Copies of this chain bind each other. A is one copy, B any other.
Amino acid sequence: MRTLSPTQQAQPLDEEALQTVDAYWRACNYLAVGQIYLLDNPLLKVPLLPEHIKPRLLGHWGTTPGLNLVYAHCNRVIRERDLDMMYIIGPGHGGPAIAANAWLEGSYTDHYPDVRQDETGMRRLFRQFSFPGGIPSHVAPEIPGSIHEGGELGYSLAHAFGAAFDNPDLVVACVVGDGEAETGALATSWQSTAFLDPARDGAVLPILHLNGYKIANPTVLARIGDEALTRLLEGCGWQPYLVEGDDPEHVHQALARTLDTVLDEIADIQREARSGAEQPRRGEDGWRPWPMIVLRTPKGWTGPHTVDGKQVEGTWRAHQVPLAEVRNNAAHLGMLEEWLRSYRPDELFDDDGAPTAQLTAWAPDGDRRMGSNPHANGGRLTRDLELPDFREYGVDIDGHGRTTSESTKVLARWLAEVMRRNPETFRLFGPDETASNRLDAVYDVTGKTWGARVLPVDENLAVDGRVMEVLSEHLCEGWLEGYLLTGRHGLFSCYEAFVHIVDSMFNQHAKWLNTSRRIGWRAPIPSLNYLLTSHVWRQDHNGFSHQDPGFIDHVVNKKAAVIRVYLPPDANCLLSVADHCLRSRDYVNVVVAGKQPELVWLTMAEAAAHCARGLGVWDWASNDDGSPDVVLACAGDVPTLETLAAADLLRQDLPDLRVRVVNIVDLMRLQPPSEHPHGMPDPEYDAVFPPDVPVIFAYHGYPWLIHRLAYRRHNHDHLHVRGYKEEGTTTTPFDMVLVNDLDRYHLVMDVIDRVPGLAARAAVVRQQLVDKRAEHRRYVREHGTDMPEVADWLWPER
């Protein structure tokens, strides 16, 4: 690890700059402590009294002085270099720091005019923090300059890279907590250096903040020795610079010196890369690692050193609120006042509470302030995608259900054109599965991003590729989130079962959307689009280990306002849905679609109309004459196949039964409108699913989800759902549905069992179906393939 000593470079801060950055830092620390503790008396114009103290002391002090320090120093380099810089806060619990900085530089007041830069505004700033009706204690959408839902740790660096992609002039300063660095997501994020193109993309400047402790424990990276830490970071493509100390003056100079050095290096790397000369790749001689900073300062620096005989500053005890019980402990109250006054607020704010001119001059201006950087309110920068007409990419069909197509392969041709037309604002993400998911047609337009060594045998790799492939769902999701939050567009294609790896990341992003939609100044951002394929029903190469359709269940727990779930039954519907998703804003769109050859049910025009409705009766497959004896409902490609085959069987075996076939693309249509904006009104729902008519519902995922969505509907007592029930492993496609009782034969049996009066007259048919199932099981176990009559079934022309 390099440490820049004063002899290597002149002191970068002259006396005035040194004093100013220290004053700026003190001001932010003061404002942060004030947020944690004070209800009133924000400028300490009178001695501190118990009634000035909040009744509940909440917030996290430990990380705050470090965040403030870096922010204050970034302001200088932004000004001096006219940098376009944003700030990502790994230790998101340091909410007070970012609110303090945003207020001090004026961004907060710009976004919240009633939190003025005066005594009243400062009081409001303090009071609202972690206070009912105020702002949360973590960095969150409410805080200008943030793209980061604080709280859960681990995603900062991936977000930073996502923000930097396709923003060549942007520098993303990213504070990584040393606790956060223990998470899996962060640990693998260091490797993102292999996926950043210095010519096309901006730069990420990680500042690993080694303050030594987590909530209650030392951190691994702080205790393995500098040599090991250096090796680890170097092994990931970084050149770390150490800034260390607990003497402010020393640290100010060292940090300033190091920031100048690393920014020079970044500029140099970018200049070379943009010179047009061929660049060495990571792993090759001459490749230049990216500079980063390791900042070792005490946890809770400048806070109380010792409280009640125990060391607090520099230990885990500084993590949250270092002084407790301040209202009714006079000694603590005294210590708090001393602590606050140690920042010399009278030098920092005038009598009205406004920051002094010295401080305001230290902050950059306008959009250059990190609290006002437009990338951190990415919707401001969002441009609509230029989308080719999806109808032109549809599959021409020869009657309903008679033409086979691989849905994702069809989609890929359209996606390729999307990528061609939007060469700076759209990326495709996948954990090593783009080709497996049949999306490889996009390689006709762009390569897979790869900045490390290549071999002659490699295919489709390019430093400036736009398909992001890495075997980490965390990285794919984190990069994409960073890309979306800064206003661009993307699609994440993933094996359905393993998207659960990012359940928690999805949670935090959905929370972000849910909150930011309520914040007037946050502009809508492009939706987070998931394409889940290689789904539960077709795991021929894999089996039980790859089966789980439960991401939908997970997703629909979040606020209806931001959640959309689509199950296009065929290639044409997938095109229509994808077009819709890429146009949308502020949603999470989950699309589930198969990659295997499957029948196409609808013409392109029919598909577009059907998807626009989200749910509809397929008249061509129904014979109910408006008054069905039974409704066969289906959602998902494989359930749709089985349902149509069941309808075919019913026509053959029980021709006078009036059967209605309903296909659901937009799952949320099933909920009442009170629960989801897409919900069908009851009368409309009742028209499709008449209240007393049995519904046999073949669903892609866990069957109870349908009950959960539809339990308020009038015909719920007649709703009978089949779906995945955790059966089956490596086997044939039809055997998979059979062992889960979702097969055509079982659906017909369900009809016979559920339609009043049918059981007796269809007893023979039913027994034939039971026999058919048994026969198939034997056949599969003997031949290893499905019976041709099943595998080759087509919807009959009529």
Contact = CB atoms under 8 A, between A and B. Distances in A.
Contacts of A39: 784
A140 B223 contact: no
Interface string A739-782: 00000000000000000000000000000000000000000110
Q: How many copies does the complex hold?
A: 2
Contacts of A237: 224, 228
A152 B314 CA distance: 40
A432 interface: yes
Given A137-B541, A540-B58, A231 B223 contact: no
A536 B458 CA distance: 49
A769 to B, nearest CB: 20
Contact of A58 (B233, B475, B730): B730
Interface stretch (A42-50, A407-415, A544-552): A544-552
B58 A217 contact: no
A498 B504 contact: yes
Interface stretch (A180-188, A265-273, A625-633): A180-188
A435 B214 CA distance: 12
Interface string A207-243: 0000000111111100111001111111111000000
Contacts of A225: 282-284, 453
What is the interface of chain A mostly: helix, strand, loop, or mixed? loop
B220 A541 contact: no
Interface string A96-118: 00000000000000000000000
B132 A780 contact: yes
A140 B545 contact: yes
B504 A501 contact: yes
Interface stretch (A572-580, A661-669, A700-708): A700-708
Given A498-B152, A541-B59, A545-B149, A471 B180 contact: yes
Interface stretch (A14-22, A164-172, A392-400, A508-516): A508-516
A781 B132 contact: yes
Contacts of A234: 228, 231-232, 235
Contacts of A214: 432, 471
Interface stretch (A251-259, A520-528, A554-562): A554-562
A726 interface: yes
A190 B228 CA distance: 13
A518 to B, nearest CB: 11
Interface string A583-597: 000000000000000
Nearest to A136: B543
A735 B497 contact: no
A442 to B, nearest CB: 13
Contacts of A231: 231-232, 234-235
A711 interface: yes
A730 B503 contact: no
Interface string A482-505: 000000000000000110110110
Nearest to A178: B471
Contacts of A735: 132
Contacts of A729: 136
Interface residues of A, number: 129
A55 interface: yes
A472 interface: yes
Interface in A708-755: 708, 711, 716, 726, 729-732, 735
B283 A58 contact: no
A542 interface: yes
B545 A92 contact: yes
A60 interface: yes
Contacts of A224: 194, 235, 237, 282-283, 452-453
A56 B735 CA distance: 14
Nearest to A556: B704
A732 to B, nearest CB: 6
Contacts of A553: 553-554, 557
A638 to B, nearest CB: 17
Contact of A500 (B56, B93, B507): B507
A433 interface: yes
A220 B453 CA distance: 9
Contacts of A60: 541
Interface string A77-97: 000000000000000110000
Contact of A150 (B133, B153, B503, B545): B545
Contact of A220 (B232, B233, B433, B452): B452
A542 B191 contact: no
Given A136-B730, A457-B315, A436 B216 contact: yes
Nearest to A732: B132
A56 B231 CA distance: 47
Given A135-B730, A218-B454, A228-B237, 12 more contacts: A56-B540, A132-B732, A136-B545, A137-B730, A183-B188, A184-B185, A194-B224, A218-B455, A314-B457, A320-B541, A497-B504, A511-B545
The 8 nearest A-B residue pairs measured at CB: A151-B545, A232-B235, A184-B184, A136-B543, A231-B235, A187-B188, A187-B187, A225-B283
6 contacts: A58-B540, A183-B472, A188-B188, A223-B453, A225-B283, A557-B726
Interface of A: 39, 54-56, 58-60, 92-93, 130-138, 140, 149-154, 179-180, 182-191, 194, 214-220, 223-225, 228-237, 282-284, 311, 314-315, 320, 432-436, 448, 450, 452-455, 457-458, 461, 469-475, 497-498, 500-501, 503-504, 507-508, 511, 514-515, 540-546, 548, 550, 553-554, 557-559, 702, 704-705, 707-708, 711, 716, 726, 729-732, 735, 780-781, 783-785
